């Protein structure tokens, strides 16, 4: 059999060109609204696919501007071994062995009283990779291909001065979900300009998203799915309690078009010195509370949908404007640039919140637009594989 060398060469060249063309097409989609407006991530850096978990870890943490493409599942489970040690069965676990959540003794949580009266010591075995996030340096875009981009067994940590980071269209999952303190999906601590978009988070031991005590500065969370369905629930009802934690010392957080479902608390918890614009999000099937606004938290909640949410606002020790009426909502115009939108409720408790004295904090900042509450639009557009 004779081969046409020229034809074969042309075919190979065409195939290579197709692959290169496909890779050249990888790019961040859209731009962030709200406080993290202007975030560029890796900028014009050529998009590259890491060969495996080791190269991904290196690329994420180095000082080079990068566009990192996840085109498959990157599984970190087992890469750092397991640990067996003394943890606890907290007082909240009233269904041990039948869907409850035990705890790792991180930060002495089991021994400093936080586990509650009546907690007991037990042995816990967990995957060590899950309890610490992958370090992410400055000027990074981390993007997924379709719905293929998955981080399994390890989250992301943007801290210690890292800034200008985009995380888009990836799924973070399976971080020791059976244990409180089993791992956080995305952690910010001492960062700035972070945009998290079209990300799905599921089966997390601790927080789905945490902007902790350090300053996280300008952050936008948009079009994400926070999926709280779990077989290990701190509230023994198949719903995740530790969801979204916003207690930074100097944080400006925009949350827009996120779908938060099957959680039982802290969705979100706000405090520290956090200014939160919570606009056009959809809560569905929350057995406990959505907002818990602690001292220092300043929240505008507008255009959101609460469907089957037992307690939209657990407590308000800070300042909270819940867009209570058409007439009251005109107070937003001077500082947010628009009349705030009414929230919508179905089979849910009431929200409340009429504080307006803090609205001047929005003046001169990049503020996301708002539209009328619409659950279908939010749910259909949120999460991985939707861009």
What tens digit of pLDDT does each residue of 327-339 get?
999 999 999 999 9
Asked whether residue 324 is assigned to any structural domain, the reply reads yes
Per-residue pLDDT at 17 exceeds 80: no
Range of the domain at 309: 74-78+87-381
Asked whether residue 284 is assigned to any structural domain, the reply reads yes
Strand partners, 302: 279
- Any idea of the CA torsion for 165, 170, 176, 182, to the nearest 10 degrees? 20
Residue recorded with tokens 């990074």: 140
Contacts of residue 249, Cβ cutoff 8 Å, sequence gap at least 6: 213, 214, 215, 272, 273
pLDDT for the residue 6: 41
How many C-beta atoms lie closer than 10 Å to residue 2's C-beta? 4
Per-residue pLDDT at 234 exceeds 90: yes
Contacts of residue 318, Cβ cutoff 8 Å, sequence gap at least 6: 270, 271, 293, 294, 295, 296, 297, 298, 299
Q: What values do phi and psi take at 364, rounded to 5?
A: 80, 0
Asked whether residue 289 is assigned to any structural domain, the reply reads yes
pLDDT exceeding 70 applies to what percent of the chain?
94
How many domains does the chain divide into? 1
- Given a contact cutoff of 8 angstroms between Cβ atoms, the answer to whether 283 and 305 are in contact is yes
Q: How far is CA 239 from CA 155, 223, 242, 253, in A?
A: 20, 21, 10, 25
- 303-347, pLDDT tens digit by residue? 999 999 999 999 999 999 999 999 999 999 999 999 999 999 999
Q: Which of 187, 271, 259 is nearest to 229 (CA)?
A: 259
Per-residue pLDDT at 14 exceeds 70: no
| Overall average pLDDT of the 118-130 stretch | 98
In the chain, % helix, strand, coil (3-state, to 5) comes to 15, 35, 50
pLDDT for the residue 3: 37
Has 206 been annotated as catalytic?
no
Asked whether residue 295 is assigned to any structural domain, the reply reads yes
pLDDT band at 2 (very low <50, low <70, confident <90, very high): very low
- 37-49, pLDDT tens digit by residue? 999 999 999 999 9
Terminal Cα-to-Cα distance of the chain (whole angstroms): 47
3-state secondary structure 21-42: HHHHCCCCCCCCCHHHCCCCCC
- Active-site residue (options: 66, 89, 239, 266): 266
Asked whether residue 276 is assigned to any structural domain, the reply reads yes
| Overall average pLDDT of the 21-28 stretch | 70
Asked whether residue 57 is assigned to any structural domain, the reply reads no
- For the record, the structure tokens of 362 come out as 């929005």
What is the pTM (predicted TM-score) of this model?
Answer: 0.94
Q: Which run of H or E residues covers position 21?
A: helix 5-24
Over the chain, what is the mean pLDDT? Answer: 94
Asked whether residue 60 is assigned to any structural domain, the reply reads no
- Given a contact cutoff of 8 angstroms between Cβ atoms, the answer to whether 297 and 274 are in contact is yes
Residue recorded with tokens 């200014």: 275
CATH of the domain at 95: 2.160.20.10
β-pairing verdict for 251-256 and 217-222: parallel
CA–CA separation, 325 and 327 (whole Å): 5
How far out from the chain centre does Cα 360 lie? 27
Asked whether residue 23 is assigned to any structural domain, the reply reads no
């Amino acid at each position: 059999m004779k081969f046409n060398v020229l034809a074969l060469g042309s075919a190979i060249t065409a195939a290579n060109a197709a692959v290169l063309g496909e890779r050249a097409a990888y790019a961040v989609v859209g731009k962030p609204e709200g406080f993290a407006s202007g975030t560029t991530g890796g900028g014009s850096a050529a998009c590259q696919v890491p060969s495996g978990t080791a190269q991904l870890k290196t690329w994420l943490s180095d000082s080079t501007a990068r566009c990192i493409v996840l085109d498959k599942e990157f599984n970190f489970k087992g890469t750092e071994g397991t640990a067996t040690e003394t943890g606890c069965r907290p007082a909240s676990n009233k269904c041990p062995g039948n869907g409850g959540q035990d705890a790792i003794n991180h930060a002495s949580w089991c021994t400093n009283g936080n586990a509650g009266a009546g907690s007991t010591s037990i042995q816990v075995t967990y995957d060590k990779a899950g309890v610490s996030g992958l370090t992410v340096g400055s000027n990074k875009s981390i993007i997924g291909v379709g719905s293929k981009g998955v981080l399994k067994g390890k989250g992301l940590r943007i801290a210690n001065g890292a800034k200008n980071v985009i995380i888009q269209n990836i799924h973070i999952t399976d971080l020791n979900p059976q244990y409180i303190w089993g791992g956080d999906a995305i952690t910010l601590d001492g960062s700035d300009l972070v945009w998290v978009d079209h990300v799905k988070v599921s089966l997390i031991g601790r927080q789905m998203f945490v902007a902790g005590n350090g300053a996280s500065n300008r952050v936008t969370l948009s079009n994400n799915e926070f999926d709280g369905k779990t077989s290990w629930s701190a509230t023994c009802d198949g719903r995740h309690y530790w969801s979204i934690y916003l207690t930074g010392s100097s944080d400006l957080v925009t949350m827009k078009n996120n779908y938060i479902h099957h959680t039982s608390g802290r969705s979100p918890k706000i405090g520290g010195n956090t200014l939160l614009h919570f606009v056009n999000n959809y809560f569905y099937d929350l057995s406990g509370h959505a907002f818990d606004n602690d001292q220092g938290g300043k929240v505008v909640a507008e255009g959101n949908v609460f469907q089957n949410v037992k307690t939209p606002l657990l407590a308000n020790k800070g300042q909270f404007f819940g867009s209570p009426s058409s007439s009251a909502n005109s107070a937003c115009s001077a500082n947010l640039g628009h009349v705030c939108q009414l929230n919508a409720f179905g089979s849910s408790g009431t929200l409340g919140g009429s504080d307006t004295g803090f609205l001047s904090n929005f003046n001169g900042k990049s503020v996301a637009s708002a539209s009328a509450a619409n659950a279908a639009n939010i749910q259909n557009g949120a999460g991985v594989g939707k861009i």
